[in-house]
Amino acid sequence: MILTVTLNTALDITYHVRALRPHGTHRVSEVTERPGGKGLNVGRVLAALGHEVTVTGFTGGATGRAVRDQLAGTAGVVDALVPVQGSTRRTIAVVDTTTGDTTQLNEPGPAITPAEWSAFQETYERLLRSASAVALCGSLPPGVPVGAYAQLVRTARASAVPVLLDTSGEPLRRGVAARPDIVKPNAEELAELTGSHDPSQATRSARRRGAHTVVASLGAEGLLAENAAGRWRAAPPRRVHGNPTGAGDSAVAGLLSGLVEDLPWPERLARAVALSAATVLAPAAGEFDRAAYEALAGQVAVTSEASAA
C-alpha cells in the first residue's frame, strides 16, 4: 500500500470560460468538482496506475463531506482522512479556453486544534505499519506546526518507510533537514530553499541540506534529478498546452510508483514526465489523459549528466 498525506485537503472546482477578463462578468461553459489537495491528486493517479492507495490528512464540514463522498467512488483509494471541526477549503481554477491559461484561487484551510493534530499523528503511525512508501504533500493548514513535515519524515524513517516530500517555504526547509528519501520542489521552491536560481547548483545544495534525492520540476522543460548515483534530465518530446493544475502531483505519482516497483531512475523520471504532460491535457487535477500518457511514455528523453561533486 502507498500512503499519501494531504494535511490541507480541498474540493477542487474548475471553471471554464471563453475569455477571462478582470472586472468582467463571465458565463461559465463547464464546471468540474474533484477531491483535491496535492496528496489526494497523487493518490488518484496512483490508483489509476493500478496501485493500492490509502489517503490521509484532515477533512471537515460540508466541503469535507463532498470530498469524502467523491473519494468513495474512486476505485483503488482507501479513505483514512481524520475528521476536524473546521471546514475543508475550496480551490478554484478558472481556465481561459481561448488562451489555455489558468488562474488559481486557493483558500487557506481550516484551523487545526492540538487535539486534532495529535489524532492525525496516531493515525499516521498506524498506517505506516502497512505502507510501502509515503508521500507528504502540499501546504499546512492553520494550527499545524511549521515543523510538521520534518516530524512526519522522521516518523516514516523510523518505520523504515521511504518518504517523498513535496511542499514549499519553511515547511520544506525544515522537512529537508529531516533527510527525506526524495524531495520534489519546482524551480521557484528550489530557488527559495537554496538561494540559487541555477537548477543544477540548487539541486546540489538541497542534497547538502539533507535530501537523499532531489527531483526538480522545471515546468515544460521536464525534470532534473540528482542523488548519490548520478544526475539526469528528463524532457517531454514536445510542449503540451492545457490546464497545468495537478501536473506536479502526477509527477510525484510517477516517482512513487517507480520507487515501489524498483524501477531504474531513468525509467521513473520518464514515467513522471509522461504522466505530468498527460495531466496538462486532462480536464481536472488528479486525472491524466491515458492515451496521451501511453503515447508519451516511450518518447521522453532522459539524459545522464556528470555526477554531483
Return the amino acid letter for 178: A
Phi, psi of 84 (to 5 degrees): -135, 165
Q: Does 69 participate in catalysis according to the annotation?
A: no
Distance CA 36, CA 192 (A): 25
**CB pairs under 8 A, 24+ apart, for 118-126?**
119/82, 120/7, 120/56, 120/57, 120/58, 120/82, 121/151, 121/155, 123/56, 123/80, 123/82, 124/5, 124/56, 124/152, 124/155, 125/155, 125/159
* Nearest C-alpha neighbor of 48 from the set 241, 278, 227: 278
Cell of 160: 523504515
Contact 176, 206 (CB under 8 A): yes
SS3 state at 228? coil
DSSP 162-223: -EEEE--HHHHHHHHHT--SEE--BHHHHHHHHS---HHHHHHHHHHTT-SEEEEE-GGG-E
Per the residue annotation, which of 12, 166, 249, 289 is the catalytic one? 249
Can you give the three-state secondary structure of 21-68, one letter per residue? CCCCCCCEEEEEEEEECHHHHHHHHHHHCCCCEEEEEEECHHHHHHHH
Active site residues: 249
